[in-house]
Structure 1
Amino acid sequence: MHAWRRLLIAALGTAITVALSVAVQTTSADAESNGGVRVMPLGDSITEGTQIPGGYRIGLWQRLAGGRYTIDLVGSQFNGPSGLGDHDHEGHPGWRIDQIDANINGWARSHNPRTVLLHIGTNDVLQNYNVTGAPQRLSTLIDRVTTAVPNADVFVATIIPLASASQEAAVRTFNAAIPGIVQNKVNAGKRVHLVDMHSKLNTSDLIDGIHPTAGGYDKMAAAWYAALQAVPGSIGQPGGTPSPTPSPSTATPIRGVASGRCLDVTGASQANGALAQIWDCNGQSNQQWTSTAAGELRVYGGKCLDVNGGGTADGAAVIIWDCNGQNNQKWRFNSDGSITAIGAGKCLDAPSNSTANGVKLQIWTCHGGGNQRWTRA
């Protein structure tokens, strides 16, 4: 009986230790956001850094820091050495293109990346999963990403070599389709960029025939860094800093001309995704808005008025989100009282000319109506 009790206590102790470890790790990940340009490393174990935890993200972070870029790596996953300044990523060992595709909308909503680094397809080859259909799956995934975050720059890499001769032949066939896929997206007006990753490594850079050595991962880091530097805005400007949190004393209400009610965050929520609405002006913090030099409308200091998902269509919802510098968080006050969402070129709008408390706001084609005009209260 006493032996069983000792085993139970030991098991409970282990469970508590694991739970505390997970809690600490989650807290660390949340704390690493520095308000910089949001970059999502997206892919499989090569993004996660199997064999060398942190993978290419280590060398990429070092280069970004050395170049004085202010970057916030984002994603639901978290790993890497203590020297890696930001451990967040969206790398999933063993995952194929279709599995990433099935989850990308949720990740995009949660993390709203400004830039995406996509290296995916290796497991399609390793698992011999309808390899001939892999290019089309990749094309569909890219479309999914660009629809979810239309203002993001998406960097699509050819996948790195494999040691197996037969698998490497499949890799080369898959990679040969990627430039055409990327060019088709560019022709359609999408912000998609090709990164030739395959040529940067060879089989001597692989630790197990699949995953890179530390040196191989660093070669990947160099390739990503060069590609990012070649696209203005994808990682901000060297020496750039996020727009500072404004002084609360500069915050004022914004009142709808037609309704007489104020721009308000539903339920006084401070959560990402909380909807903007109109409500009786009451002077509370969820109605206090600060215009910044970057074109933001900030509330609570660190949240920005945001067009959900970077949408540009009439009716796209207006929410609050962590300030990230993207165009869907930039607004312009016009001489007629309208407020234009810069990324969409449309106006902040109370639907159907409604003036009731709780009406959720949207963007709509600008027309000068009272439901699109606002004043500083």
Structure 2
Amino acid sequence: MAAVVAVALSALPAADRPEDVEVPAAVDDPGVVRVMPLGASSTVGVGSPATAGYRLPLWQRLAADGVRVDYVGSRSSGPDALPDTDHEGRSGWTAARMVPMTGGWVLAAQPDVVLLHAGTNDLLQGAGARATAASLDRLLDRVFAAAPHTHVIMAGVWAPLPKQRAERARLAEYLPRVAAAHRAAGHSVEFVDTAALFPAGRTADGLHAGPDAYRTIASMWADRIEAHLGVRPATGRR
């Protein structure tokens, strides 16, 4: 694993290279899936701190289906009910702001799967869909430079954003093309359009998902993770 990290480190732009890279001890455990929740306030869990947003219901769903998970990231927050509180969520951050930091985060964590949800704050702060898609494209470059064999599940913006409705819709058109370009380059990435994942009435504050909506988000992530792993959901679940 040290050799893998050394190769990945050399591929990162100089500004992304951390001075010290600690490879977690469990990184070589073949029975554990290392999952990095990567994003902004929805990754932290704003709107439902009692469930750490989607992270607790996602953990519960995967555990019920026999998937052993190690959440990874340099941040830690969540309720006592969540056995693993690691994540890479930065409340208020745009995708553009994350770009120069992402390589170091991913290099240190070496995730098997990255759950990427970013771009909402870019739109809220006036960036257009094209610029936001370009930031996410660069962010993916950094992810794959640091962990070439990771699988990225990139979700679209699920917040309603009524004032940015047109740019939100355009972003949902651009991001499948971004994902396709990375797949053509040999990267493992998929885009999930979440524009209609839950109605605006299920938000906690008009922007962040509420507890019920986060359970829906968790199911979306779990479905995609299990499809990637070839895991069949428990009997009785779709």
Q: Same fold (TM over 0.5)?
A: yes
Distance 2:114 2:159 in 1: 21
Aligned pairs for 1:40-51 (under 5 A) are: 40-51=36-47
Q: CA deviation at 1:218?
A: 0.7
Richer in strand (by share): 1
* Change in CA separation of 1:33 and 1:150 when aligned onto 2, cut-off 3 Å: closer
Partners of 2:58 and 2:222 within 8 A in 1? yes
Distance 1:225 1:41 in 2: 12
* Change in CA separation of 1:165 and 1:231 when aligned onto 2, cut-off 3 Å: same
Q: Determine the structure 1 residue equivalent to 2:91.
A: 93
Distance 2:71 2:26 in 1: 9
* Structure 1 segments unaligned to the other structure (5+ residues): 1-29, 239-377
The amino acid of 1:46's aligned partner reads: S
1:38 equivalent to 2:34? Answer yes
Distance 1:70 1:220 in 2: 19
The secondary structure found in structure 2 opposite 1:199 is coil
Distance 2:162 2:115 in 1: 27
Distance 1:229 1:136 in 2: 28
Distance 2:40 2:184 in 1: 28
Q: CA deviation at 1:51?
A: 2.4
Q: Determine the structure 1 residue equivalent to 2:54.
A: 56
The amino acid of 2:211's aligned partner reads: A
Aligned pairs for 1:120-131 (under 5 A) are: 120-131=118-129
Question: Alpha-carbon deviations, 1:238-282, whole Å to 9, x = none?
Answer: 9xxxxxxxxxxxxxxxxxxxxxxxxxxxxxxxxxxxxxxxxxxxx
Distance 1:180 1:132 in 2: 11
Distance 1:209 1:169 in 2: 17
Partners of 2:116 and 2:154 within 8 A in 1? yes
Of 206, 210, 214, the match for 2:211: 214
Identity of aligned residues (%): 36
Partners of 1:161 and 1:202 within 8 A in 2? no
Of 168, 173, 176, the match for 2:170: 173
The secondary structure found in structure 2 opposite 1:189 is coil
Partners of 2:129 and 2:168 within 8 A in 1? no
The secondary structure found in structure 1 opposite 2:219 is helix
Q: Determine the structure 1 residue equivalent to 2:73.
A: 75
The amino acid of 1:212's aligned partner reads: A
Of 195, 198, 206, the match for 1:198: 195
Distance 2:91 2:187 in 1: 28
The secondary structure found in structure 1 opposite 2:196 is helix
Partners of 2:159 and 2:208 within 8 A in 1? no
* Structure 2 segments unaligned to the other structure (5+ residues): 1-23, 234-238
Q: CA deviation at 1:169?
A: 2.6
Aligned pairs for 1:237-316 (under 5 A) are: none
RMSD of aligned Cα (Å)? 2.4
Q: CA deviation at 1:171?
A: 1.5
TM-score by length of 1: 0.52
Aligned pairs for 1:6-25 (under 5 A) are: none
The amino acid of 1:44's aligned partner reads: A
* Change in CA separation of 1:217 and 1:78 when aligned onto 2, cut-off 3 Å: same
Q: Determine the structure 1 residue equivalent to 2:224.
A: 227
Distance 2:154 2:76 in 1: 22
The secondary structure found in structure 2 opposite 1:219 is helix
The secondary structure found in structure 1 opposite 2:154 is strand
Q: CA deviation at 1:190?
A: 0.9
Q: CA deviation at 1:32?
A: 10
Of 105, 112, 123, the match for 1:114: 112
The secondary structure found in structure 1 opposite 2:208 is coil
The secondary structure found in structure 2 opposite 1:117 is strand
If asked which structure has higher relative contact order (CA below 8 Å, sep 6+), I would say 2
Richer in helix (by share): 2
Count of residue pairs the alignment pairs up: 207
Q: Determine the structure 1 residue equivalent to 2:180.
A: 183
Q: CA deviation at 1:34?
A: 11
Structure having the higher Rg: 1
Distance 1:33 1:71 in 2: 12
